[in-house]
Amino acid sequence: MSGASANNTRWAYTLFSSLVIGFILLPLVFIVWMSFFSNKILSFPPQGYTLDWYTRAWELSDFRNGFFLSFRTSMIATLVALVLGLPASFALVRGRFAGRDLVNTLLMSPIVVPAIVGGSAIFVFFLEIEFLTGIQVAGSSLGLIMAHSLIALPWMIRLVTTSMISVNPSIEEAASSLGAGPLTIFFRITLPVIKPGVIAGSLFAFVNSFIDLEKSIFLVGPNSTTLQIALINYLEWNFDSTIGAVATVQISLITLLLLITDRYVKLSRAF
Amino acid sequence: MTDTVAEPARGAAPKGVAIRLGIPMLSAPAMILVALGLLLPLALMLRNSLNIYDPAELMISAFTLENYVKFFTDSFYQGVLWRTIWISALSTAICLIFGAPVAYFLARYVGDFAKRMLLIFILVPLLIGNAVRTSAWMLILNDHGVLAAILGFFGYEGELGLMYSAPGVVIGLVSVLLPFMIITLNSVFEAIDRNLEDAGLSLGANHVTIMRRIVLPLALPGILSGSVLCFILSMNAYATPVLIGGPTFHMMAPTVYQQIAKVMNWPFGAALSFILMAVTLCLTIWVSALVQRKYRKWSE
């Protein structure tokens, strides 16, 4: 009797959860499906299937250049986050200093401050610099890279510190007592152990920078829009399967990166 | 021979000091980036919010609360704030109702591998970006979209009217907030000792009683933090209200963007930003205090 009711409960949960997960996933399934429709004006059901929308998306310079600009910007931002984030993570995990919690909070603050507010602040800041010095930062690739490095940095630090905590400090102390310098210790002992965290952190930082909309929207120039901005600009006047093609490429790329990330660090731990 | 033994010992002390002083300094480059890219601009924005807007000169330096007063006396902007608050509260409540059972399901009824895969599926929609996710919802919700086609198949011919409407925006927001809620609650449920539920079951309690009397009180702090997270994210939402809500559906974050980047009224845009953050903070503190008082009564 109680076994039967436990079974019913289980089925109820399974059914309910499938519906909710379906609700989350279904829009993506439909947009991928739609990218292959041959209908000139988007409608359901499809009249046939074609790959033309992918060619069209590639031929639109906004999407093509946007993809490359996004890719390049996110790569550089990830590198910056790596170079700045690795030592910072080391300081946060190994250091015993007053104000460490404050440093940690401040380094995480780019995630906490609302993206639109952070974007507004940096936009006005860049323009005020321009008024004072005449150097154009907003709309330049330098400004964009700086904003994106800021997006990437906290994710990098979060994933690297979690994996650094698992390194036993006595191994580092042993190396130190045998005469190894701090750099040798870092590259020969710490880095190999935290490698999964570094890889996952880099991929996650890249993804979060690549998909950013709310900060980039303030900082892109007229001839240099990132892919996300190109998408919403296009959406303002059009809604056809070109969107589906671009979305499908992005969904595939990011799903792939997330699957790789998950091999190194459980994805749910990043939040 | 004695020298080689003595040398590391002699060298160790200064090196140790250098490392101890050096380690905190390793966070300096990252701190400089955050200071230059976020903290300083925010401080500047707080200062700007006290300035006066001038269409010709952009900004006149001043020390006035005019921009804040303007917000709280103009019924349009109060309407924007109220809409943002109730849309966020509603979306959070829906996420809780639909997310909690999924989180419990993942924590109790699913094997390790399947759970890992399902969590990736739940996270993909979150991490493919607002632009792509929102356009996918536009495809579903618009009057000639997927939903209209499905309903049409069943004979419904009326207008759907979900685009540019509050229900459409809530649907869009729920779809991006649900993953956060599910992941937060999943780790909460996993931390609860399964034996407690089994004990309740063996004493004859049914599932609803176990959930209400055992799981819910234990999970309440986690439910609170998951809800706070969803509420904050929804208060700050930009892409969903802009793309699904359309140009006449005003919420706070799009209004901030409008004022800062389009109108170029930086003082007022700055004031809007700080009002948005302050209201969000106050509401979450207030709700947390309410829930914690209730929680204390419960556990007594």
Could you report the per-residue pLDDT of B86-109, keeping only the tens digit for each?
999 999 999 999 999 999 999 989
Contacts of B256 in chain A (CB under 8 A): 116-117, 120
Which of A34, A45, A208 lies at the smallest CB-CB distance from B139?
A: A34
CB contact (8 A) between residue A251 and residue B132: yes
Task: For residue range A53-104, list pLDDT tens digits in order.
Answer: 898 889 888 899 999 999 999 999 999 999 999 999 989 988 888 888 999 9
Domains in chain B: ranges and CATH: 75-299 (1.10.3720.10)
User: Average pLDDT of B216-224?
Assistant: 89
Report the alpha-carbon distance of residue B68 to residue B271 in Å, rounded: 6
Task: For residue range B231-261, list pLDDT tens digits in order.
Answer: 999 999 999 999 999 889 999 999 999 999 9
Q: Tell me the percentage of chain B whose pLDDT exceeds 90.
A: 54
pLDDT at B16: 54
Q: What distance in Å separates residue B251's CA from the closest CA in chain A?
A: 12
Task: For residue range B135-153, list pLDDT tens digits in order.
Answer: 899 888 988 888 888 888 8
* The dihedral formed by the CA atoms of B84, A229, B126 and A54, expressed in degrees to the nearest 10: 140
CB contact (8 A) between residue A5 and residue B121: no
Report the alpha-carbon distance of residue A261 to residue A112 in Å, rounded: 23
User: Average pLDDT of A150-169?
Assistant: 90
Query: Which distant-in-sequence residues (6+ apart) come within 8 Å of B134 by Cβ?
Result: B172, B239, B240, B243, B244
Contacts of B243 in chain A (CB under 8 A): 232, 235
CB contact (8 A) between residue B132 and residue A218: no
Query: Which distant-in-sequence residues (6+ apart) come within 8 Å of B206 by Cβ?
Result: A5
Q: What distance in Å separates residue B300's CA from the closest CA in chain A?
A: 30
pLDDT at B21: 64
CB contact (8 A) between residue A106 and residue B187: no
CB contact (8 A) between residue B128 and residue A177: no
Mutation for testing the B interface, residue in A15, A116, A153 having most B CBs under 10 Å: A116
Contacts of B262 in chain A (CB under 8 A): none
Q: Tell me the percentage of chain A whose pLDDT exceeds 90.
A: 50
pLDDT at B9: 40
Q: Taking CA B123 as the corner, what is the angle to CA A75 and CA A212, rounded to the nearest 5 degrees?
A: 40
A57 and A248 Cβ atoms separated by less than 8 Å: no
* Res. B17 pLDDT band, cuts 50 70 90: low
User: Average pLDDT of A110-123?
Assistant: 94
Average pLDDT score, chain B = 88
CB contact (8 A) between residue B136 and residue A30: yes
CB contact (8 A) between residue A87 and residue B121: no
CB contact (8 A) between residue A110 and residue B34: yes
**Helix (H, G, I), strand (E, B), or coil: what is residue A51?**
coil
pLDDT at B59 over 90: no
Which of B24, B101, B207 lies at the smallest CB-CB distance from A17?
A: B101
User: Average pLDDT of A190-214?
Assistant: 92
pLDDT at B300: 63
What are B59-63's contacts with CB under 8 Å, separation 24+? B59/B266, B59/B267
Residue A171: count other Cβ atoms within 10 Å of its Cβ: 13
pLDDT at B1 over 60: no
Element (H, E) at B59: strand B58-60
Give A54-270's CATH code, choosing from 1.10.3720.10, 3.40.50.1820, 3.40.50.2020, 3.30.499.10: 1.10.3720.10
CA distances from A167 to A164, B131, B227 (A): 5, 39, 33
Q: What distance in Å separates residue B265's CA from the closest CA in chain A?
A: 11
Residue B22 corresponds to which tokens in the numbers above?
């050096």
pLDDT at A107 over 90: yes
For residue A144, give the chain B residue with the closest CA.
B37
Contacts of B94 in chain A (CB under 8 A): none
What are the structural domain ranges in chain A? 54-270
Task: For residue range B105-115, list pLDDT tens digits in order.
Answer: 999 899 888 99
Which of A14, A88, A122 lies at the smallest CB-CB distance from B26?
A: A88
pLDDT at B12 over 80: no
CB contact (8 A) between residue A27 and residue B175: yes
User: Average pLDDT of A165-194?
Assistant: 84
Mutation for testing the A interface, residue in B33, B164, B244 having most A CBs under 10 Å: B33
Task: For residue range A15-67, list pLDDT tens digits in order.
Answer: 999 999 999 998 899 889 888 887 777 777 778 788 888 988 898 888 999 99
Mutation for testing the A interface, residue in B5, B7, B10, B23 having most A CBs under 10 Å: B23
pLDDT at B11 over 60: no
**Smallest Cα–Cα separation from A22: which of B74, B69, B178?**
B178
